[in-house]
Chain A
Amino acid sequence: MKAKQRVGVMLLGFCALLAITVASTVTNAATSAKELVSITIGSKVFTESVILGEMLRHLAQQTGIETHHQRQLGGTRVLWNALLSGEIDAYPEYTGTLLQEIMVKENLQTEAELKQALTAHGLRMTPALGFNNTYAIGIKAELAERLRLQSISDLKNHPELVLGFSNEFMDRADGWPGLQQAYRLPHQNVRGLDHDLAYRGIASGTLQVIDLYATDAEIAYYKLRTLEDDLNYFPVYNAVIVYRADVEQRAPEVAAMFNRLAGRIDAATMSSLNAQVKLNGEAESAVAAGFLKQALNLHVGYQIQTAWQRFWKHTAEHLILVGISLSAAIFFAVPLGILAARRERLGAIVLGVAGILQTIPSLALFVFMIPLLGIGGPPAIMALFLYSLLPIIRNTYAGLKDIPPAIVESAQALGLSSRARLRIVELPLATRTILAGIKTSAVINVGTASLSALIGAGGYGQPILTGIRLDDMGLILQGAIPAAMLALLVQGLFELIERGLLPKELRMQTNEVKSAS
């Protein structure tokens, strides 16, 4: 029986996908069990944080304990929550961020108070690493020389200068509005723009004064001078390592290693390490190792993955994300679509909920999953799964609803049971529409999966993210091109499946009657 075979193939496919899902869940569970005796480092989405993260990884590995580094995991909130929940054990942070952003409600004043507050959260903090990565005001050294500018106060005498600030700095109360008030700066010509563009602006001369971070690699490159904050307006952003208190029990030697960094990195050193990565294109791992050798006389072995190794790793990660989430979506969405077509009222609810899910911006959906499922693969897969539901549900529903009533009634009048009608008549006739829905979902899924890198799930988003951070178009393309290729490949794959699955007569439905009576 042809129809039966077809359904059989579909069922077999579903079972295989289900098996893969289960298998990968089991492996995930296995790995998380292993993590009990290992250390996981996190870092934020900017170069300095990744370099410091690599240092921590090298240091922890020196003790012989297995160590992972979740690179450029996300912003402050993501890392803080991951640390609290124990998904990571340590990450580089700044005292200013801890005081002004994370624990702003607790209104802490001193570092001693901060340490106390961290202890209350079950956390520890190393002494300051030695550099203060606060906001600074920069100007071309040559121009500063000419105008005799040493401190921010000196700017008062030069209202003709054009100021360009990053959008964040323009908006923050403790950014430009506060700065202008504190120093009574008279400047009228102030622009908001992207931080990276500000450097180009100052190089080309359209801007004369910009905001920057004290350890930006570009300071030396563009020959800038940072003006002294003579009124101590900017808060102190001393770099520290925050780590979970239980590291001191689980791996006291690792905590001791972290503390060896205290006071070893000054602003100039950090700036030059940033420059090695950002301007010379060296690998963070190598730069971190180089520093440890020079400053602490530690010889750490490190491997830098080749471009191919990275490519295969990202491909595998991406395929796992897409494979599991898409198969689960097919597995749930097709029955939901059938349910929607059979039960009008329930159908309206199902389609409504799936529709609302689709309107959530994808990035937000990923972030919503973090409190529920933590960081890494599971929340990314869940978000992708939810995102893939609607096109399949909607097309299954439409495919079944579009079958001419005469055909449905004929099947009924033959005496076929409801289930048999679905299997023998309705699903085969809706196959084309259902597959079109799956194709749409697959392409959306492959594209959206690139965002998974933002919550530590890897995939092709990883090189894209790194490329954006390092302003490296080549790296961005290393992620973007395979992602696009994969989308095309998946689409082609489903077209092949369609060709195999779809009965011949439906493919040539447009062909008209050939023979006469």
Chain B
Amino acid sequence: MLLISQVSKHYGDAPVLAPTDLQIPGGETLVLIGPSGCGKSTLLRLITGLIQPDSGIITFEGTELSPENILQIRQRMGYVIQEGGLFPHLSVRDNVTVMARYLRRDARWIDGRLNEVAQLVRLPEKMMRRFPAELSGGQRQRVSLMRALMLDPDLLLLDEPLGALDPMIRYELQQELKAIFAQLGKTVVMVTHDIAEAAFFGHTLVLMRDGRIVQTGPFNELAQTPAEPFVEQFITAQREPMAQLVEALR
């Protein structure tokens, strides 16, 4: 579905992504994980064409991404970012349907599809007329997901989609998101820095550090046969506080 080969990116003199290869099979959920500045968000932004690679090729379903075709290809990708990126001057309905209306889709089709995605993310009908400032953080992310799913994309890209939410809502939304992914059977690429979240969602985890991929594989593989000491450190660093907590409760 998505093929990344020898893609690299510099900002000025600083390399943010070393030449990288990655293959994302269809129907899978792939999670990019790593500490801040490891290049995981850069990789996601390269896939959406928001930034251009310095070298290498990205192929989406057999088509090489180029500035000429990126607008068409983006219609087949849904993109959700941390704070939702909703347009503050448009209502929920207008935010979700903006692209469909721009493409002059049939009004009845738009209404039907809007209902579908609203039910999918369990957003009540009465919210449709509200504006982003009148929504809670969790509701905003639901709307953002609706907007990403509106045109029924083949690929869903999520950049720290739950990063700004408080723990309870985050937990609730994690459960729902996973159910939605399973139900839709779409290819998903998600960026997170939270190892538990990565393990929860990802068929495959891609651990990155300093602009390169350290290890790719299911969580079990990363935990049991770490390719580098860093892999173990990264997993332990996030597990340790919880372990101490469990210890204290005994």
Contact = CB atoms under 8 A, between A and B. Distances in A.
A508 B133 contact: yes
A412 B48 CA distance: 9
A516 B127 CA distance: 12
A1 B86 CA distance: 17
Nearest to A411: B87
Contact of A415 (B75, B82, B85): B75
A389 B236 CA distance: 60
Interface string A1-41: 11100000000000000000000000000000000000000
A513 interface: yes
Nearest to B127: A515
A515 B136 contact: yes
Contacts of A413: 48, 50, 74, 77, 79, 85, 157
Prevailing SS type, chain A contact patch? helix
B99 A415 contact: yes
Contacts of A415: 71-75, 99
Contact of B50 (A412, A514, A515): A412
A414 B74 contact: yes
A505 B88 CA distance: 7
A407 B94 contact: no
A424 B169 CA distance: 31
Contacts of B94: 1-3
Interface in B40-58: 48, 50
Residue in B82, B131, B157 with the greatest tally of chain A CB atoms within 10 Å? B131
Contact of B89 (A417, A420, A429): A429
A7 to B, nearest CB: 12
A509 interface: yes
A409 B101 contact: no
B29 interface: no
Interface residues of B, number: 36
A513 B98 contact: no
Interface string A391-421: 0000000000000001101111111110010
A506 interface: yes
A409 B87 contact: no
A341 B82 CA distance: 25
A1 B107 CA distance: 11
Interface string B58-95: 00000000000001111101010111011111110010
Contacts of A3: 89-90, 94
Residue in A413, A512, A514 with the greatest tally of chain B CB atoms within 10 Å? A413
Contact of A515 (B81, B132, B135): B135
A500 to B, nearest CB: 14
Nearest to A505: B131
Contacts of A515: 134-136, 139
B163 interface: no
Contacts of A482: none
Contacts of B72: 415
A509 B83 CA distance: 16
Contacts of B91: 505
Interface in A473-517: 503-506, 508-509, 511-517
B73 to A, nearest CB: 8
Interface of A: 1-3, 406-407, 409-417, 420, 424-425, 428-429, 503-506, 508-509, 511-517
Interface of B: 48, 50, 71-75, 77, 79, 81-83, 85-91, 94, 98-99, 101-102, 131-139, 147, 157, 169
Given A2-B94, A412-B74, A515-B135, 5 more contacts: A406-B83, A414-B75, A417-B71, A504-B131, A506-B89
11 contacts: A2-B94, A406-B82, A406-B85, A409-B85, A413-B79, A425-B87, A429-B89, A505-B91, A515-B136, A515-B139, A516-B136
